[in-house]
Structure 1
Amino acid sequence: MPHPGRLRPDAVVVSFRNGLHNARLLRDGLPGATVLAGMVPYNVARTAPGTFHQGTGGALMLDGAPASAPLVAALTAAGLPVEPRDHMRQVQHAKLLMNLNNAVNALSGLPLREQLGARPYRTCLALCQEEALAAFAAEGVRPARLGPVPARLTPRILRLPDALFRRIAAAGLRVDAHARSSMRDDLEHGRATEISSLRGEVVAMAERRGLTPPVNARLVSLVHEAERPGGRRSWSGPELLHALRQP
């Protein structure tokens, strides 16, 4: 977190971290500062010290408040696609739905394109998203539409046979062969993952509304197990799907 004494009084801080509450946490820690929410839609993986690989495309999104205008202009001038949005809460919930694949990908041990090309892994993600969408609805939040398909239809598309899925989702799933989730990188380098601030948020939200999210809760447990030395970090699609469907 930036140190309050090192910021100019007119500084604008934008949080591009995953999760729903980072902007609020920054506001709490930086009283008086202008803090805006942002969102990074694409996958970035650390491939070597000082080297990062962008495996998917998309435009940065951030709060469309007037205070963001100078940053939007600077990013545009630098050639970075950026899109101001008026309803960042809905955008962040939509990104959280996307982030639910991070744990599935991490436990698959596969590049994103290969993992998303396999129906059993996609079914795991569909189960997770259905629980999340139910929790969002109970909270009165309709996630923003970030791609060609409304969020509520995504679980149905994920369950399609592989050939049909590739035809329908091709435009929205341009993923290069090397892309993988940052959570997989965390596991391989022995770092704590962000599972609690992502999938754990879905579990907490659902339970707060009296719902039961067994699939997401189970994945939280599996990732925490994988974080431990000697923990299992590689699951086939059928194995993971079977584990998530266990009562």
Structure 2
Amino acid sequence: MIGIDSRIVIAGAGSIGCYAGGRLAVAGKAVTLLVRPRMIEGLRQEGLRIIDPDGSDKLVEPEQFSLTSDPKIAFGQADIILVTVKSGATEEMAKSIRENAPSDVIVVSLQNGVGNAETLRQHLQPEATVISGMVPFNVVQSEPGVSPLNVRQTIPGTILIDDTLRGLAEVLSVSGLSVQAHPDMQGILWGKLLINLNNALNALSNLPLVNQLADRDWRLLIADQMGEGLKVVGAHGITPAKVQGAPPAVLPWILRLPNVLFRIAAARMLAINPHARSSMWEDLSRGRATEIDYLQGVIIRLAHEKNIAVPLTRKVLACVKQAEGKPLRSHSVEEIRG
């Protein structure tokens, strides 16, 4: 039963998970963060600082939320579970939820990629309700050792979820965390995937997003990669929906504009935190595995099915694979184009 007192669990309390959980906790929701053991002591002693795009911040006191690294404790009494793990960990998380949560639990995927909800459905109890969701903004986490842990939302945006469960968006929408129901979540997820193709390029550039977008050579690279993606999804009859701003089909045209015209046409796109970078940059900088297989990898697999050449997408995936687990360095546009 969905209600204002629903017990909410954040399954994967990384950057997005901590931000969403923090906002819900501040609003008085019953929130449990399922976290790695190494995070518990710091969060229990110092709490969590959540920061808005405009720089205003709020300290979430330790007593405002529950913490555990034990899935049995986290999921045992859960009404709603927000899954925020990387796409590669979805199946494992689904199995943990199945083993420990009530059979009729509501599970919301707030992850990158287009197949996470289906993966959850395949591995959860038949009675569970799985909802697709999309987070349109990135959240940057403070460097290790900073106390309390800071999570900063880099741009404004409204989280979208499936409209199949009435009242869920209203329960999850609180001050600082806007959530709305949407009738075409698959279209939204495909639109987000095309935008997220730049996650890899931003990581390889080692530049803040605003600096990367200010450079026309990088924008042309982004546009060319997105063009490959649009061609592939179009060949499969997929219609990506607008996430924020311009529709996906128009974005390559905007990105190719000369600098003067781009600054006018993309003023909203450039109104982001000057330090904002992609989540994949954070993954590479911290030596973590990336989600490249669930972004560029999806385009490459679909291209293969239709015998469509996507040389740039393949090169970007190869560059990221080579960069994983190594010290972060700046790649040039010329190096990526090969």
Runs of 5+ in structure 1 lacking a partner? none
Q: Does 1:198 align with 2:290?
A: no
The amino acid across from 1:243 in the alignment is: E
Deviations along 1:167-206, one digit per CA (max 9) or x if unpaired, are 1011244211121111111111111111111111111111
Q: Does 1:26 align with 2:26?
A: no
Question: Residue 170 of structure 1 is aligned with which of 245, 256, 267?
Answer: 267
Q: Does 1:3 align with 2:97?
A: yes
The CA deviation at 1:94 is 0.3
Match of 2:162 in 1: 63
RMSD value, Cα: 1.6
Question: After the TM superposition, which parts of structure 1 deviate over 4 Å for at least 4 consecutive aligned residues?
Answer: none
The amino acid across from 1:25 in the alignment is: T
Q: Does 1:87 align with 2:150?
A: no
Q: How far, CA to CA, are the matches of 1:30 and 1:78 in structure 2? A: 31
Shift of the 79–244 alpha-carbon distance from structure 1 to 2, 3 Å rule, reads closer
**Higher radius of gyration, 1 or 2:** 2
The amino acid across from 1:27 in the alignment is: R
What's the secondary structure of 1:52's corresponding residue?
Answer: strand
- Name the % identity: 39
Q: How far, CA to CA, are the matches of 1:57 and 1:16 in structure 2? A: 16
Match of 1:37 in 2: 132
Q: How far, CA to CA, are the matches of 2:196 and 2:119 in structure 1? A: 20
Question: Residue 54 of structure 1 is aligned with which of 153, 157, 161?
Answer: 153
The amino acid across from 2:132 in the alignment is: A
Q: Which moved more, 1:103-112 or 1:40-49?
A: 40-49
Q: How far, CA to CA, are the matches of 2:277 and 2:167 in structure 1? A: 32
Higher strand share goes to which structure? 2
The CA deviation at 1:48 is 2.9
Higher helix share goes to which structure? 1
TM-score (norm 1): 0.91
The CA deviation at 1:229 is 2.8
Q: How far, CA to CA, are the matches of 1:159 and 1:64 in structure 2? A: 35
Aligned length: 239
Runs of 5+ in structure 2 lacking a partner? 1-92
Q: How far, CA to CA, are the matches of 2:238 and 2:271 in structure 1? A: 28
